[in-house]
């Protein structure tokens, strides 16, 4: 694909896993996978349940320790990586709510901690939270309890939380799982806006679905090994019809040079 075709000056991949091996308990989950995501790319990690795709993204952000191999983010080995504000993480949505209610705004604001750390929430931070809420279409629900939301709206909250830190890299674990069709469209639109603005995306998907036109490359895992790394698998059904071919607005390497995240400035 385009991103690998022309080596850039900052040729370091945004995310790279090299020979990554990880186990959950005694069960080996990753058996030595190589995965690189380059600047501006949208890479989908596909595979059956238990193929290791969630473990791979969680290893990429240091939440699963590797027993062999290396993870680098923005060219820095993970154990020395500190620039977490460049990363926006959307975990797999769990239905387990906390013991205390929280508003949409409170949850989204916690995404801003990657920039404020232990400091106060300033005006610029609150504005970033407002933008993140707007980006997922939940500005009018800011004061509502997250427990009152539907599954799809809850997923949008988690994405807004990741966007609140104005990251360059989005890592999403099954963002479409259990999401109604209307919210899927909103999510696809949100993601498209991020990609158009230069964001790099690594996401775990069960099926390509409405995100299909955005995906540059698919990595398919099987039993903890990379089974396919290349163009997204050909969709069947109406997605396979001619005329469904798509053009990526961010694909042209020549005008991709000054990378903006679009969120930062």
Partner 1 sequence: MDLFDYAFMQRALLAAVLVGLTAPAIGTYLVQRRQAIMGDGIGHVAMTGVALGFLLNTSPVWMATAVAVLGSVGMELIRSRGRTSGDVALALLFYGGMAGGVMIINLAPGGSTANLNTYLFGSITTVSPEDLTAVVVLALLVLAVTLGLRRQLFAVCQDEEFARVTGLPVRLLNLVIAVTAAVTVTVAMRIVGLLLVSAMMVIPVAAAQRLTKGFGATLAGAMVIGVVVSLAGTVTTYYVDAPSGAAIVLLAIVVFLILSLAATPLARRRARGTAPSPEDVASCTLDEGKTGTAASPTNHD
Contacts 24+ apart (CB under 8 A), 70-78: 70/16, 70/17, 70/18, 70/19, 70/20, 71/15, 71/16, 71/17, 71/18, 71/20, 72/12, 72/13, 72/15, 72/16, 72/18, 73/14, 73/15, 73/169, 74/12, 74/14, 74/169, 75/10, 75/12, 75/13
Considering the complex, what minimum distance in angstroms separates the CB of residue 61 from partner 1?
Answer: 5
Non-local (6+) Cβ contacts of 58 within 8 A are: 64, 173
Q: Tell me the closest approach of the beta carbon of residue 64 to partner 1, in angstroms.
A: 10
CB of 78 to partner 1, least distance (A): 12
What is the smallest separation between the CB atom of 257 and partner 1, expressed in angstroms?
28
Q: In what order do the strands lie in the sheet with 42-47?
A: 87-90, 169-173, 200-204, 42-47, 217-222, 225-230
> Judged by CB, which is closer to partner 1: 106, or 229?
106
Q: Of the two residues 96 and 240, which places its CB atom closer to partner 1 in the complex? A: 96
- For partner 1, the closer of residues 5 and 118 by Cβ is 118
> Cβ of 190: how many Cβ atoms within 10 Å?
19
**What is the nearest approach in angstroms of partner 1 to the Cβ of residue 30?**
18
Least distance in angstroms from the C-beta of 87 to partner 1: 6
Q: What is the DSSP track for 86-104?
A: GEEEEPPP-SPPPSS--BH
Q: Compare residues 40 and 165 and give the one whose CB is closer to partner 1.
A: 165
H or E element in which residue 182 lies = helix 181-196
| 104 vs 208 by CB, closer to partner 1 | 104
**Chain positions contacting partner 1, by CB under 8 A:** 61-63, 82, 84-85, 87, 89, 91, 98-103, 105-107, 109-111, 113-114, 116-118, 121, 143-145, 148, 161, 165
């Amino acid at each position: 694909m385009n991103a690998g075709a022309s080596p850039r000056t900052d040729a370091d991949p945004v995310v790279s896993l090299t020979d990554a091996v990880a186990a959950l308990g005694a069960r080996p989950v990753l058996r030595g996978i190589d995965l690189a995501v380059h600047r501006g790319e949208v890479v989908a990690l596909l595979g059956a349940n238990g193929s290791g795709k969630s473990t791979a993204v969680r290893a990429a952000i240091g939440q699963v320790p590797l027993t062999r191999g290396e993870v680098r983010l923005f060219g820095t080995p993970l154990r020395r990586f500190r620039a977490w504000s460049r990363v926006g993480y959307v975990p797999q949505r769990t239905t387990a709510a906390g013991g205390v209610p929280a508003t949409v705004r409170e949850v989204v604001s916690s995404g801003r901690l990657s920039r404020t750390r232990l400091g106060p929430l300033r005006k610029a931070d609150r504005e970033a939270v407002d933008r993140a809420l707007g980006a997922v279409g939940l500005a009018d629900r800011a004061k509502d309890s997250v427990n009152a939301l539907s599954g799809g709206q809850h997923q949008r909250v988690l994405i807004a939380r990741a966007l609140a830190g104005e990251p360059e890299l989005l890592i999403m674990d099954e963002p479409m799982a259990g999401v109604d069709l209307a919210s899927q469209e909103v999510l696809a639109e949100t993601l498209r806006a991020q990609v158009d603005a230069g964001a790099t995306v690594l996401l775990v998907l069960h099926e390509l679905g409405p995100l299909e036109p955005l995906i540059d490359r698919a990595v398919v895992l099987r039993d903890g090994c990379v089974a396919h790394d290349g163009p997204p698998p050909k969709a069947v059904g109406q997605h396979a019809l001619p005329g469904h071919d798509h053009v990526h607005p961010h694909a042209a390497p020549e005008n991709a040079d000054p990378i903006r995240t679009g969120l930062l400035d």
